[in-house]
Every structure is written in structure tokens, then in C-alpha cells.
Amino acid sequence: ISAPVLLFEALARRVERESLELWRDLSHDWGLDTGRRLVIALETEGAEQTLPQQAMRDVTERISSALRDQGWGLVDFDFTHADRGVLHVQLRGSALATLRTKGDRSCHFLAGMLEALLNHLAGRRLHVEEVSCACRGRQDHCDLIVVGEARRERVAALAEAGLDFAAVLGELEAGCD
């Protein structure tokens, strides 16, 4: 599979005429569905243990490899802030960061895919939000933040306000969530 960037770009241009929020939500939901299918594929690859039973390093490497092989980019999971209920994900070479869209973040589909995968691993609802995107040329990677469902609205609002990962983390640590 190769990432269908032209399809995403055409859909984004059309849906963005109606609403940027509609495109973000549609992309995220599409990513959730695709991520659920990826969970099934990863679970049936012949491993003796289910994904949640495997070492986190092994699972994140499998996820990264699968996304890379499908043309979505290179995913790096940073667990430095896990004790604060936050996971940092960096995405390099995102196929979607090449989209020409009106918004300042393009990787909502990948955020949805990762959300489905991480929900399965954690056995609970998490939320993945892209906080900064390489599509604007300010950095060579996209930053995504993973938080519990209770922080979903706060993180989405902070990302929409244009805060980067460090600033969102600061706001969450300050108790402003």
C-alpha cells in the first residue's frame, strides 16, 4: 500500500469549502477506522501474544514499521512524559504533511490511526491530537500528543490555538486542563 496523497488532497480541498472542522473530523474518523483494521492485521501476523501482552518497545516498532511500509512516514514514540499521562509521538516524512490545505495541521488521519492502535494497546479510550505539522515548513516533523479521554477537549483547544507540544504539555502540567 502506498499512501493515497492525491485522494486526500482532493477530498480536503472539497470538504474544506464547507468547513475546516468537518475535514478534521472526517479525516480523524477515517483514520480510526483504518487503525482498527491495522490492529486486526497486526494481531493476526502470527505472534504468540496479543499486542497488549507484548513489550511496548516491540509493539511500537511493529506499528512504526507498518506505517512506514504503507507510506505514511516514520513514527517515533517518546514515553518521557508517560508518568504525567502524556505520550509524545513524532512523525517524520508524513505523506499527509505534503497536502496543500487551508488548515495548519494536515495529519488528522494519522492521528486517528494511532488513536485506534493505542486505544487497543491501553484497553481504554485515549485521544491523539496533532499539535504541529511539518506542512507549514517550520519544522521537519509533526508532533502529536496522546492523552486520556478526559483531556480530549482541552488538548484539542490548545492545538487549535496553535500551541506546540511543549506549550500544550506546560498548560496541562500547570493544571489548566
pLDDT of the chain along its 177 residues, tens only?
Answer: 455 767 777 777 777 777 777 778 888 999 999 999 999 999 998 778 999 999 999 999 999 999 999 888 899 999 999 999 999 999 998 777 666 565 667 788 899 999 999 999 999 999 999 998 777 767 788 899 999 999 999 999 999 898 999 999 999 988 754
Give me the pLDDT at residue 115, please: 96
Count CB-CB contacts under 10 A for residue 59.
Answer: 22
What residues have CB less than 8 Å from 122, skipping those under 6 apart?
52
85 phi/psi in degrees, rounded to 5: 80, 25
Query: Could you tell me the pTM of the whole model?
Result: 0.87
Q: Which three cell numbers stand for residue 94?
A: 508524513
